[in-house]
Structure 1
Amino acid sequence: MTVPSVPGVRLRRITVNGVGLNVATAGRGPAVLLLHGFPHTWRLWSEVIGPLARRYRVIAPDLRGFGDSERPAGGYDPGTLAADAAGLLEALGAGPAVVAGIDLGAPPAFLLAMRRPGLVRRLVLMESVLGDLPGAEEFLAGGPPWWFGFHAEPGLAETVLAGHEEAYIGWFLDRGTLGRGVRPDVRAEFVRAYTGTGALRAAFGAYRALPAGARQIREAVAGARLTVPALAIGAHPVGRALERQLRPYADRLAGHVIPDCGHIIPLDRPDALLGLWEPFLDTDEGRYGRPAGASALTRGVSPTPPSP
């Protein structure tokens, strides 16, 4: 199925690890796998899919339990989400790929690169923290964001929020763009995806799995190093916390903070994001992470039609 509001994108249903995932695909070339966070779906990448798809094969799933993917009872820990991502790349014959994750999508992207480095050509992590690894103390000085505990309490948040989803999701979208907001059609899709106690319960499963994720991340760095080239991108409010967490464990890491940018980087400052991505994705390793002067990944050009 094609998506009129995002030219060149085709939606597919792909079963991975027994779970049907809704997957947006576009373009041809080396693969780029995009993993969203909360409260997002694959449409988080609406502004960057087109430019990327002119040169790359873009794969943007709804994570299990999110959007139009199936909502199993469990498996929302980063390790299982990483296994889903690996299975998706294998099902599509798309590895090794550039893997990018933001917010809740960053820990599974990180674990995928640690556990299956042969599937990951380069790694981009954005606006997240990796469990309780050292380096995020300044960001967490006042404790984790308030909603972490609210979402983590079984049965609470989905009960309280039922009937108020639009206001709640809208708060995150406005806050995550420093008040600028997102396109009405994208906003409507996010609200639709998180409406109903079943949708909310599945989404909050990722927060209820945070302790398991922290253990998985500690175990990963205890036994190996991050060997693939990595790029950490921060904005408001995470800043350089993620970069500081990664620095002791990464062989090749570049870090950047995008100024005047909210947490939802791909929708708030897509051109700035593309400017950082371009030199990292496929040029010589000595340049990776530097902003491009005249980016070839510009918006406003329709992508190459996807392969059948």
Structure 2
Amino acid sequence: MVDAGVGLSQEIAVDANDGVAAPALAGTAARTVEVEGGRVRLNVLEAGSGTPLLLLHGAPQNHLEWRELLPRFAATHHVICPDLRGAGWSDAPRRGYDRGRLAADVLDLLDALGIRRTAIIAHDWSALVSFDIAIRHPDRVSALVALSAPDPFVRVDARAMALMRSGWFMPLVPLPVVGERFVSRGRQLVLRPMLASAGGEVPNSEIYRRLLRNPARAHALSLLYRHTIMPSLVGLMTGRRRPTRLEVPTLVLMGGRDPAAALLRMRRTSAEVRELRHEIVPRAGHFLVDEVPDEVFDRAAAFLDVRSTDRRG
């Protein structure tokens, strides 16, 4: 646990190929945590004390996505904010980017920190992985806030075609060799739509681009699209392996300008669900944390305050 009033005085050491130092965030402490039996090292920021709260970023971002909200949540929670496998200043191995392994990374992280149960706020693809954890390991998750990602009970219809129109780059990124070259070389034009928010580009876009010039990180992003993001989209479209039960109280928060918001208006399969709420932020797009941080904080904090009742961690 970390005193929210203490600043981080040293930059995190990074691989020489990255050439980018992690900005120091006041009120946080950084550590390296090993997962997958010590084979992969994750860069993890912590702040605050109290009930555990795990903040998980989307793609192609890293922990900097939470730069503004991390200290605000740390006023009332013990916040854990990692760079997930392949992102930020964590290791970028050449394997392990399927949903099962990514979920195992999160559980390994919690085990290494001695955290039995936590609330989770997750954006984009990490929200999909968090649903897997909440469904398969409900004892580890007190509450879940999923940002810019649908719940797994959606019965997709023709309105989902809007997703394909806006995500024209999605079939390119997973391509072997070709995909990572689009991501890492030249003007990195494929990253422009990936980082486009309702108000322009998301903050820290230049840092995200510079990190992805590292071939290992570009390869990791390509594998993430190949083994998690695209298969998840196909699975949603085809209805394969839909769960039938969700015990963890869950809030799905989506921007009204996000094409994926159409999914919230579709029918759902019958399932045994403890609590599943859907809310739309009308003026926001896909990058809720960057575009409307106050809205995300207010809605998530209100939801978690009532439901995260396990104070033991």
| Higher RCO structure, 1 or 2 (CA under 8 Å, sep 6+) | 1
Extract unaligned runs of 5+ from structure 2.
1-7, 12-22, 309-313
Change (3 A) 1:63 1:149: same
Please give the alpha-carbon distance, in whole angstroms, between the structure 2 residues aligned to 1:246 and 1:51: 34
Please give the alpha-carbon distance, in whole angstroms, between the structure 2 residues aligned to 1:127 and 1:92: 28
- Counterpart residue number, 2:4: none
Greater helix fraction, Structure 1 or Structure 2? 1
Task: Report the residue type matching 1:196 in the other structure.
Answer: N
Q: By how many angstroms is 1:231 displaced?
A: 0.3
- 1:102-141 correspondence to structure 2 within 5 Å: 102-129=123-150, 133-135=154-156, 137-141=158-162
Task: Report the residue type matching 1:107 in the other structure.
Answer: L
- 1:27-42 correspondence to structure 2 within 5 Å: 27-42=48-63
Change (3 A) 1:132 1:55: closer
Percent identical among aligned pairs is 28
Partner of 2:279, secondary structure, is strand
- 2:210 counterpart of 1:192: yes
2:65 to 32, 44, 57: 44
CA offsets 1:24-48 (integer angstroms, 9 cap, x no match): 1111111111111111001111111
- 2:294 counterpart of 1:275: no
Please give the alpha-carbon distance, in whole angstroms, between the structure 1 residues aligned to 2:67 and 2:27: 11
- 2:175 counterpart of 1:153: yes
Task: Report the residue type matching 1:227 in the other structure.
Answer: E
Task: Report the residue type matching 1:154 in the other structure.
Answer: P
Please give the alpha-carbon distance, in whole angstroms, between the structure 1 residues aligned to 2:262 and 2:74: 29
* Contact 1:125–1:231 (CA under 8 A) maintained in structure 2: yes
Change (3 A) 1:281 1:94: same
Change (3 A) 1:281 1:78: same
- Counterpart residue number, 2:90: 69
Q: Which segment drifts farther, 76-85 or 124-133?
A: 124-133
* Contact 2:143–2:307 (CA under 8 A) maintained in structure 1: no
Change (3 A) 1:161 1:88: closer
Q: Which segment drifts farther, 1-10 or 258-267?
A: 1-10
Q: By how many angstroms is 1:192 displaced?
A: 2.5
Q: Which segment drifts farther, 268-277 or 153-162?
A: 153-162
TM-score by length of 2: 0.80
Q: By how many angstroms is 1:130 displaced?
A: 6.0
- Counterpart residue number, 2:253: 233
- 1:1-308 correspondence to structure 2 within 5 Å: 2=9, 5-17=24-36, 18-129=39-150, 133-135=154-156, 137-141=158-162, 143=164, 145-164=167-186, 168-173=190-195, 175-176=196-197, 178-183=198-203, 186-210=204-228, 213=232, 218-219=240-241, 221=243, 224-235=244-255, 236-237=257-258, 238-239=260-261, 241=263, 248-249=270-271, 250-283=273-306
Partner of 1:209, secondary structure, is helix
Extract unaligned runs of 5+ from structure 1.
286-308
Aligned residues: 279
CA offsets 1:154-184 (integer angstroms, 9 cap, x no match): 11121234333565435433x22x134344x
Please give the alpha-carbon distance, in whole angstroms, between the structure 1 residues aligned to 2:267 and 2:103: 19
Change (3 A) 1:255 1:154: same
TM-score by length of 1: 0.81
Please give the alpha-carbon distance, in whole angstroms, between the structure 2 residues aligned to 1:203 and 1:10: 26
Task: Note the aligned Cα RMSD (angstroms).
Answer: 2.7
- Counterpart residue number, 1:301: none
Task: Report the residue type matching 1:79 in the other structure.
Answer: G
Task: Report the residue type matching 2:170 in the other structure.
Answer: F
CA offsets 1:228-272 (integer angstroms, 9 cap, x no match): 100000013122525857774433011111121121111110001
Please give the alpha-carbon distance, in whole angstroms, between the structure 2 residues aligned to 1:69 and 1:98: 22
Please give the alpha-carbon distance, in whole angstroms, between the structure 2 residues aligned to 1:30 and 1:11: 19
Change (3 A) 1:156 1:218: same
